């Protein structure tokens, strides 16, 4: 007597297990050593394995798995479902597998379009990397900031490698052409960088030789004290136009050269300090002299002012220099006296200019003649005419007063 535990499977008394497909039963195997339930369970697990494969294929289709892999998986599933030794709804599994197979052409077109877009984008990205490195290589090597340029080249190369590893597979011809351009420019930049630094190294050696000689000369000047400063300044001008060494070397050389200059200027500062101490007496004397002659600023007679100013300068010149910090204050006060007396003289000559006096005398004579004539006319005039002549007379008298002043 047969035993059946589910719609798609049964076990006959001899232990043969069959699966129902449509209205037919197909033997799938036997399980003689177990119960009918165990026999069915065994072949149901076989079905579950097949079903799991179908589920996986559906998930991969949804996840946009490569179409080539999906076709291979569908082919295996189709073959596995032809007459599998399994118990379950095999027709439903076949239908699901066929649905996946039916979806593959459209999905293949989508993936093809996406792949073409990715390839186009990938070619554009690598072209951009090539153009960036070629632009960098097109610059004058002497004007390139090589530290920054080297970092840029490294970043571009890393971007290329990353895209090569993670990006889409590009057509071999285009990919090789782009890589050859990139590699060629990278090599040229590296050669230019080496040549540039080799040249700098040569310049640095030359600069070290020249500037070490300047340092030796500067250090020899230290013994001369402040007197060596003009010669040091001449060396400094030569230093500015000499070739430059590498930055660290240049800084070290400059420190030595500057130390010699500092010693010279320190000596000068010490000497100036001593001179100022001596000259402070002169400052006191000159200040007192200015106080003595400040009356010049109240003199109105230019001859007296000039005489007084000459006396001041005679005594002022006999005194020695003042401390540097006081020079400006003393000079300002002396200038005030000079300017005041100069103004007195200018005003005198403006008033006593012979040509101006001659012009004024001629005008005065003309005005006097005009006044006399008007006075005679007024004597015989009446009414409005007389008023007009009187007004003109008053005007000419005003002008004569100004000219005679």
Tens-digit pLDDT string for the chain (405 aa): 345 557 899 998 888 999 999 889 999 998 877 888 888 999 999 999 999 999 999 999 898 888 888 999 999 999 999 999 999 999 999 999 999 999 988 888 877 776 778 788 888 998 999 899 888 888 888 888 888 888 998 998 899 899 888 888 888 898 889 899 989 989 988 888 888 777 777 777 877 888 888 888 888 888 887 788 898 889 888 888 888 877 788 888 888 888 878 887 887 777 667 767 767 888 888 899 999 999 989 998 888 989 989 999 999 888 888 888 888 998 999 999 999 999 988 888 877 765 555 555 677 778 788 888 888 888 777 777 777 778 787 887 777 776 665
* Residue 141 pLDDT: 84
d(CA 339, CA 334): 9
| pTM (global) more than 0.75 | no
Residue (of 263, 277, 272, 274) closest to 224 by Cα position: 263
d(CA 228, CA 268): 10
Q: Where are the domains of the chain?
A: 3-114, 116-200, 203-261, 293-351, 355-404
* Residue 405 pLDDT: 56
Residue (of 362, 285, 340) closest to 317 by Cα position: 285
d(CA 382, CA 297): 57
Q: What is the CA radius of gyration of the chain?
A: 57
> For residue 312, what are its two tokens?
């001041």
Contact present, 85 and 21 (Cβ < 8 Å): no
d(CA 87, CA 96): 17
Residues paired with 6 in a beta bridge? 9
Sequence length of the chain is 405
For strand 16-21 and strand 24-30, is the pairing parallel, antiparallel, or unpaired? antiparallel
Q: What is the 3-class SS of the chain, one letter each residue?
A: CCEEEECCEEECCCCEEEEEECCEEEEEEECCCCCHHHHHHHHHHHHHHHHHHHHHHHHHHHCCCCHHHHHHHHHHHHHHCCCCCCCCCHHHHHHHHHHHHHHHHHHHHHHHHHHHHHHHHHHHHHHHHHHHHHHHHCCCHHHCCHHHHHHHHHHHHHHHHHHHHHCCCCCHHHHHHHHHHHHHHHHHHHHHHHHHHHHHHHHHHHHHHHHHHHHHHHHHHHHHHHHHHHHHHHHHHHHHHCCCCCHHHHHHHHHHHHHHHHHHHHHHHHHHHHHHHHHHHHHHHHHHHHHHCHHHHHCCCHHHHHHHHHHHHHHHHHCCCCCHHHHHHHHHHHHHHHHHHHHHHHHHHHHCCHHHHHHHHHHHHHHHHHHHHHHHHHHHCCHHHHHHHHHHHHHHHHHHHHHHC
Contact present, 156 and 105 (Cβ < 8 Å): no
60 phi, psi to nearest 5 deg: -70, -35
Contact present, 149 and 201 (Cβ < 8 Å): no
d(CA 397, CA 192): 96
> Residues 131, 136, 141, 147: is their CA dihedral positive or negative?
negative
* Residue 73 pLDDT: 92
* Residue 48 pLDDT: 95
């Amino acid at each position: 007597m047969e035993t059946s535990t589910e719609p798609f499977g049964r076990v006959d008394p001899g232990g043969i297990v069959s699966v129902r497909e449509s209205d037919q039963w197909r033997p799938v195997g036997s399980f003689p050593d177990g119960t009918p339930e165990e026999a069915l369970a065994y072949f149901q697990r076989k079905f579950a394995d097949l079903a799991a494969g179908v589920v996986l294929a559906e998930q991969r289709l949804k996840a946009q798995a490569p179409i080539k892999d999906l076709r291979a998986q569908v082919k295996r599933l189709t073959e596995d479902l032809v007459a599998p030794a399994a118990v379950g709804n095999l027709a439903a599994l076949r239908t699901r597998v066929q649905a996946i197979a039916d979806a593959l052409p459209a999905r293949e077109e989508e993936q093809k379009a996406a792949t073409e877009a990715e390839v186009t984008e990938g070619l554009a990205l690598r072209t951009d990397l090539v153009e960036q490195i070629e632009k960098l290589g097109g610059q004058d090597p002497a004007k390139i900031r090589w530290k920054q340029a080297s970092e840029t080249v490294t970043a571009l190369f890393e971007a290329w490698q990353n895209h090569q590893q993670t990006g889409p597979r590009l057509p071999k011809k285009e990919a090789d052409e782009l890589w050859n351009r990139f590699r060629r420019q990278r090599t040229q930049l590296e050669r230019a960088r080496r040549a540039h630094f080799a040249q700098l190294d040569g310049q640095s050696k030359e600069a070290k030789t020249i500037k070490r000689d300047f340092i030796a000369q500067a250090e020899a000047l230290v013994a001369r004290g402040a007197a060596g400063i003009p010669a040091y300044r001449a060396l400094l001008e030569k230093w500015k136009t000499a070739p430059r060494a590498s930055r660290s070397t240049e800084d070290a050389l400059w420190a030595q050269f500057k130390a010699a200059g500092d010693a010279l200027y320190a000596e000068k500062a010490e000497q100036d300090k001593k001179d100022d101490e001596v000259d402070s007496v002169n400052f006191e004397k000159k200040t007192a002299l200015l106080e003595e002659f400040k009356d010049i600023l109240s003199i109105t007679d230019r001859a007296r002012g000039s005489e007084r100013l000459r006396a001041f300068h005679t005594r002022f010149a006999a005194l020695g220099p003042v401390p540097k910090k006081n020079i400006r204050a003393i000079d300002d006060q002396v200038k005030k006296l000079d300017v005041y007396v100069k103004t007195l003289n200018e005003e005198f000559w403006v008033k006593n200019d012979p040509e101006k006096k001659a012009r004024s005398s001629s005008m005065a004579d003309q005005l006097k003649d005009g006044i006399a004539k008007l006075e005679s006319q007024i004597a015989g005039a009446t009414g409005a005419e007389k008023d007009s002549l009187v007004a003109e007379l008053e005007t000419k008298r005003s002008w004569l007063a100004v000219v005679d002043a």
